[in-house]
Every structure is written in structure tokens, then in C-alpha cells.
């Protein structure tokens, strides 16, 4: 297989790359697909501007990076296209779950490895999405804290925000909480990343409740440093693909008119 390079401009030395010269509406040959996957693993989140595509083409583009799977907690764009979902808000919702740093669906036994969003309708201003690198956040912790984190597991559950979505779509909540290691190893890069978040992680298994709350807060706060973050200002035609294994995201709730995204979720793998 010949080597192909794709044009990627980093957004920061830590995370984020803007890809140019790739039309995601067209079939992607295997050499380009491989280069795109490498870029995704290097930058954690890829941004494609000015994409003109259908929902079926978005689904095809997502398969370059993984296996799309149904996400029961948001409605499909069409009944015959159950793997592409609508994320819609009429305006910002203070207290919305998405405005808490998280990676997607960590309450699943195999949380999705990636998520692709395509901007369909945007508010005139605001509605940005922020990303933080959980590998960089882990690396910056002191050695004793990293050692402690590496010995712990944590409980993840859907909580009230997922219950709201479940109610709107009319599906059952997941039956049982799931435990994952507090630090996971990225299966493609081998990088160690913090894997707890304030949206879905409820407690640390090995610690007393008070201790666990304090330690969990410490780990979650680690991702709040601007040093590990970027902020994406959406334009129509943007397609963004992030890696849930090594990043967390936060959807800013500051807008006053409708915002619609079409989303594809990439099937997960066991966390270890």
C-alpha cells in the first residue's frame, strides 16, 4: 500500500487538527483512510470544513474510522437510517448534561470510541464545542497521583441527563451501573488517559465515599486546565470527529436560537 499524506493543520500542540483537501461525500480510498485514521489518533479530534453531504454520505464517511452503532437515546434522522441521529436544541439549556465535561456514554460496557457531528443548523452566535485531552491531563499529574489513579476503578451510570433523553425518546434506561478503570490505555496509541467525568462517573470503588468524592473531583478538575483544551466555533458544513478514548468535550450553552447536529456514534471496545 502506497503512503498518502493528508493536509492537517494542528490547532494546538496538544490536540485538534483541521483537515484540508478531503471531500467526505466521496468514497475514501484505503490509503487516504489509513492516513486519516493516523491523523485522528495523532490529534484526537479532526475538523473538516465546507463539507456538502447527505446523511447517507456522513454515515459512509464515519465508517472510515470505526463501526457506526445505533444510539437509542436520540432520535434517528430517518426511520430507514437508524445509525444517524439528530441532536437538536431550540436554544441553550443551562444545566444541560452536555455542558459538563464528559466523554460519550461511559455508562456503557463498551463506550463509543468516537463521535462524528455535522452542523446542520447553527445559532447566529455561540454554541461552540470545547475539547480537552485526557492523556495530556493524566501526563501532567504528579507521579504519586498517577500511581493512585492507575490502581482505581470507578462506577459510571446514566444519571438524570440520560433519563431526560430516555423519556423524550421513550426508551428504557440502562439497567446497571458499569465499572471502568480510572485510567485507560488507548488501544491505537498506547497512551494512558484519565477516564472519569462529572456527568456519568458516580463513585470510586476502592475508596470510602468522602475520599472517593474528593479524589474524583481532583481527577475531573485536571481536565479543566486551558493548557489541554481547544474551543471550536462551528460553521455550516463542518464535520467534526472526536475520539472518546482520549478526549472529553463540553457543549457551551450560550446561544439563543436553534442548533441542530447530525451525529454518528462509533461502536466501542472494552475499557482497559
**43 noted as active-site residue:** no
Residues 6 or more apart whose CB falls under 8 angstroms from that of 50 comprise 237
- Distance between CA atoms of residues 210 and 246, nearest Å: 27
**186 noted as active-site residue:** no
Q: Which is nearer to ligand SIN, 103 or 222 (CB)?
A: 103
264 binds ligand SIN (CB under 6 A): no
* Residue 108 CA: distances (Å) to CA of 25, 99, 121, 243, 244: 30, 20, 29, 16, 12
In the block, residue with C-alpha cell 431526560: 164
Q: Report the DSSP pairing between strands 259-268 and 112-121.
A: antiparallel
Instruction: Provide, rounded to whole angstroms, the least separation between the CB of residue 62 and ligand SIN.
Output: 15
251 binds ligand SIN (CB under 6 A): yes
Q: Would you put residue 190 in left (φ > 0), alpha (ψ -120 to 50) or beta?
A: left
Residue from the set 43, 186, 249, 262 that interacts with ligand SIN by CB under 6 A: 249
Give the per-residue contact string, 94-133, with ligand SIN (x = CB under 6 A; - = no): ----x-----x------------------------x----
Instruction: Provide, rounded to whole angstroms, the least separation between the CB of residue 117 and ligand SIN.
Output: 6
Q: Report the DSSP pairing between strands 17-20 and 45-48.
A: parallel
229 binds ligand SIN (CB under 6 A): no
Active site residues: 102, 104, 249, 263
Residues lying near ligand SIN in the complex (CB under 6 A) are found at 87, 98, 104, 129, 249, 251, 261
Amino acid at each position: 500500500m502506497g503512503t498518502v499524506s493528508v493536509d492537517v493543520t494542528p490547532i494546538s500542540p496538544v490536540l485538534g487538527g483541521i483537515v484540508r483537501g478531503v471531500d467526505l461525500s466521496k468514497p475514501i480510498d484505503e490509503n487516504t483512510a489509513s492516513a486519516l485514521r493516523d491523523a485522528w489518533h495523532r490529534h484526537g479530534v479532526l475538523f473538516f470544513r465546507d463539507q456538502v453531504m447527505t446523511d447517507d454520505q456522513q454515515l459512509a464517511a464515519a465508517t472510515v474510522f470505526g463501526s457506526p452503532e445505533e444510539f437509542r437515546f436520540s432520535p434517528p434522522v430517518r426511520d430507514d437510517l437508524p445509525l444517524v441521529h439528530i441532536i437538536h436544541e431550540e436554544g441553550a439549556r443551562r444545566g444541560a448534561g452536555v455542558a459538563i465535561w464528559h466523554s460519550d456514554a461511559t455508562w456503557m460496557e463498551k463506550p463509543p470510541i468516537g463521535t462524528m457531528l455535522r452542523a446542520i443548523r447553527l445559532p447566529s452566535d455561540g454554541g461552540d464545542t470545547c475539547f480537552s485531552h485526557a492523556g495530556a491531563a493524566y501526563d501532567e499529574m504528579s507521579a504519586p497521583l498517577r500511581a493512585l489513579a492507575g490502581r482505581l476503578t470507578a462506577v459510571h451510570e446514566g444519571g438524570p441527563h440520560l433519563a431526560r433523553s430516555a423519556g423524550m425518546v421513550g426508551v428504557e434506561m440502562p439497567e446497571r451501573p458499569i465499572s471502568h478503570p480510572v485510567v485507560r490505555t488507548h488501544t491505537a496509541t498506547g497512551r494512558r488517559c484519565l477516564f472519569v467525568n462529572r456527568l456519568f462517573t458516580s463513585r470510586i470503588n476502592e475508596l470510602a465515599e468522602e475520599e472517593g468524592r474528593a479524589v474524583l473531583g481532583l481527577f475531573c478538575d485536571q481536565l479543566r486546565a486551558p493548557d489541554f483544551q481547544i474551543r471550536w466555533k462551528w460553521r455550516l458544513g463542518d464535520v467534526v470527529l472526536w475520539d472518546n478514548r482520549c478526549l472529553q468535550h463540553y457543549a457551551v450553552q450560550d446561544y439563543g436560537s436553534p442548533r441542530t447536529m447530525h451525529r454518528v456514534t462509533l461502536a466501542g471496545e472494552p475499557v482497559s
